[in-house]
Amino acid sequence: MKLLVKAPAKINLALDVLYKRPDGYHEVEMIMTTIDLADRVELALTNDDKIHILSHNRYVPDDQRNLAFQAAQLLKDRYQVKKGVVITIEKIIPVAAGLAGGSSDAAATLRGLNKLWGLGLTLDELAKLGSEIGSDVSFCVYGGTALAKGRGESITELPAPPTCWVILAKPFIGVSTAEVYRRLNINGCGHPNIAAMINAIHQHDYQQVCANVGNVLEDVTLNLHPEVAQIKDQMKRFGADAVLMSGSGPTVFGLVQHDSRMHRIYNGLRGFCDQVFAVRMLGERHSLD
Ligand SMILES: C[C@](O)(CO)[C@H](O)COP(=O)(O)OP(=O)(O)OC[C@H]1O[C@@H](n2ccc(N)nc2=O)[C@H](O)[C@@H]1O
Ligand SMILES: Nc1ncnc2c1ncn2[C@@H]1O[C@H](COP(=O)(O)OP(=O)(O)OP(=O)(O)O)[C@@H](O)[C@H]1O
């Protein structure tokens, strides 16, 4: 028996850090939304009681370091599952890009194995399990658009943002999320207005969404990697309505509504960046399988 599950990437329309917690993590407030750029995760049942990972991408680990492996292991241990699975990951989302690729593969594995192994868990239960794997996994279990609080695992659903194009540009570098958080000076940076972003989404107000994008981690990564600032400048020059780094980076996204401008930005950035995509937001929460 086989199941194919979609694992979409996310962007952070806004990302604020409130304080560093005693457990070493940072208390965040983020507006996250899934986009139409997805890995394909195929789950095939085996009777050997083992977890196997297959991927053609040399940057994706094929052992217990893979977040999809960890998701399967967690379900096996917690619910004494005696079956095995072959997890084949067709990687479309750039790796170590700030787009939650690994987290989304883990979330897709949780959703898929819940069905394949007949566990009968709710999305809320899967999201709670996901938070044990990584801070972005809970959001990825639900998808759609949400406010994420705590260390990222406390999710409140939001409606779909206004329709627009999301142009993603990833430079050749990779970024360590832990290092970016470690270097952040919470008191020495400007903070995005999360309430204003939530209001803009509720009002379906594209101009206000664009006016309120912001990410406290951006300056940290920009200082480490000046090429990210260059990509931001390029996107602005080609006419994006809003430009921001996603998560801890290094991927930069630009928002536009007009097709012609989307093409201008897309074509202008290709050749300058490692990978460029023009995609839509997936909008509100709906079944990902
Ligand atoms: C930057 C974001 O991607 C934005 O969505 C997330 O906040 C990070 O999510 P993630 O990659 O799933 O993060 P995790 O794998 O849980 O943590 C990686 C490292 O980032 C730091 N970390 C992460 C989340 C958080 N709220 N505070 C942190 O300080 C910790 O040093 C942690 O060891
Ligand atoms: N399924 C997976 N796909 C990609 N990378 C994975 C996966 N599982 C584990 N990894 C490891 O995780 C690291 C970060 O990869 P990932 O693509 O998830 O980063 P990211 O998009 O920056 O994540 P986030 O936005 O959640 O911080 C990679 O360098 C890789 O070694």
pLDDT in tens, 159-182: 999 999 999 999 988 889 999 999
**What topology is assigned to 2-158 in CATH?**
Ribosomal Protein S5; domain 2 (3.30.230)
Question: pLDDT band at 57, cuts 50/70/90?
Answer: very high
The alpha carbon of 74 and the centre of ligand 2 are apart by a number of angstroms equal to 18
Verify whether ligand 2 is closer than 6 Å to residue 136 (CB atom). yes
The gap between the terminal CA atoms of the chain, to the nearest Å, is 16
Verify whether ligand 1 is closer than 6 Å to residue 247 (CB atom). yes
**Boundaries of every domain in the chain:** 2-158, 165-280
Are 96 and 175 in contact, with CB atoms under 8 Å apart?
Answer: yes
What are the φ/ψ torsions at residue 62 (nearest 5 degrees)? -110, 25
C-alpha closest to that of 11 among 285, 287, 282: 282
**pTM for the whole structure:** 0.97
Burial class for 196, CB neighbours closer than 10 Å (0-12, 13-18, 19+): middle
For residue 143, the model assigns a pLDDT of: 98
Verify whether ligand 1 is closer than 6 Å to residue 234 (CB atom). no
* pLDDT value at 274 more than 80: no
Q: Examine domains 2-158 and 165-280 and report if their fold is the same.
A: no
152: DSSP letter: T
pLDDT in tens, 81-136: 999 999 999 999 999 999 999 999 999 999 999 999 999 999 999 999 999 999 99
Enzyme catalytic residues: 10, 136
Architecture of domain 165-280: 2-Layer Sandwich (3.30)
* Residues 11, 169: Cα–Cα separation, whole Å: 12
Question: pLDDT band at 187, cuts 50/70/90?
Answer: confident
Write down how long the chain is: 289
